Amino acid sequence: MTDGEIIVLLGPPGAGKGTQAEKLAQKFGLLHLSTGGVLRDAVKKGTELGKQVQAIMESGELVPDTLVSKIVDEWIRLRRGNKGLILDGFPRNLVQAGFLKELEKDFPVSVINIQVDESEIVKRLAGRRSCPQCGKIYNVYTLPPEQEGVCDRCGACLVQREDDREEVVQERLRVYRTETEPLIDFYSDKSNYYDVDGNQDPRTVFRQICMQMLN
């Protein structure tokens, strides 16, 4: 890992990008941008951006590239000089990857692709609960909070995401296959591209990502 590096976490919905991003940020002192998180926050607060994207997100489609690229651009430029940055959920298609390529002149980019089987994804998303206040991610089957429905970290009531309903999950998977999966070909001949088997338990996945990053 080099100073100022941008680490891109690629992978289908429910691959564990958010889970791993949080651990990486903590271990290496990196800053983490979840584009989905920023957009959900805008919806929750009812901002102009939130009103523009709410229906799109609830249907499982991608938000327009110009809106997301602007969020990423501003976020990265404000954090120039930090030890390293993690992008979780960006880029999501070839247009966004082209935008990131422009930034590669200023920031070295590594890509970690977390691969998970579809049957596992459907189970994970059905069980996911998250904290609307601090963002911590749980799973009722594999990673439950100490007290049911309550965040261990901040005590807020946990919620299920609107787009984790089964029919929306199917649409998100379709969008992933058509829009995002082609990025694997786009990045896979890069020297800083790594595949990680995300079907394993979160700690094993984390260890493997760390091994790649410290390589």
Least separation in angstroms between residue 117's CB and ligand AP5 is: 11
Q: Should residue 95 be labelled a site residue for ligand AP5 when binding is judged by CB under 6 A?
A: no
Q: Should residue 139 be labelled a site residue for ligand AP5 when binding is judged by CB under 6 A?
A: yes
One of 101, 197, 201, 211 touching ligand AP5 (CB under 6 A):
201
Q: Should residue 25 be labelled a site residue for ligand AP5 when binding is judged by CB under 6 A?
A: no
Least separation in angstroms between residue 110's CB and ligand AP5 is: 17
**Coil, strand or helix at 32:** strand
> Among residues 183, 209, 211, 202, which one has the least CA distance to residue 19?
202
DSSP E strands, the chain: 5-10, 31-34, 84-88, 109-115, 128-130, 137-139, 193-197
**Which residue, judged by CB position, is nearest to ligand AP5 in the bound state?**
36
One of 1, 7, 10, 17 touching ligand AP5 (CB under 6 A):
17
* Per-residue tokens: 197: 């088997």
Q: Should residue 35 be labelled a site residue for ligand AP5 when binding is judged by CB under 6 A?
A: yes
Q: What are residue 85's DSSP bridge partners?
A: 6, 31
Residue 1: C-alpha distances to residues 11, 128, 209, 212 (Å) = 20, 31, 12, 9
Distance of alpha carbon 188 from its chain centroid, rounded? Answer: 19
Overall residue count recorded for the chain in this entry: 215
124 is catalytic: no
Query: Which CB sits closer to ligand AP5, 110 or 208?
Result: 208
Q: What are residue 111's DSSP bridge partners?
A: 8, 193
**Do 92 and 101 touch, CB atoms closer than 8 A?**
no
DSSP state of 165: S
Q: Binding string, 61-90, against ligand AP5, x = CB under 6 A?
A: xxx----x--------------------xx
Q: Should residue 54 be labelled a site residue for ligand AP5 when binding is judged by CB under 6 A?
A: no
What are the residues binding ligand AP5 (CB under 6 A)?
11, 13-19, 34-36, 39, 56-57, 60-63, 68, 89-90, 92, 96, 124, 127-128, 137-139, 142-143, 163, 172, 198, 201-202, 205
List the catalytic residues: 17, 92, 128, 161, 172
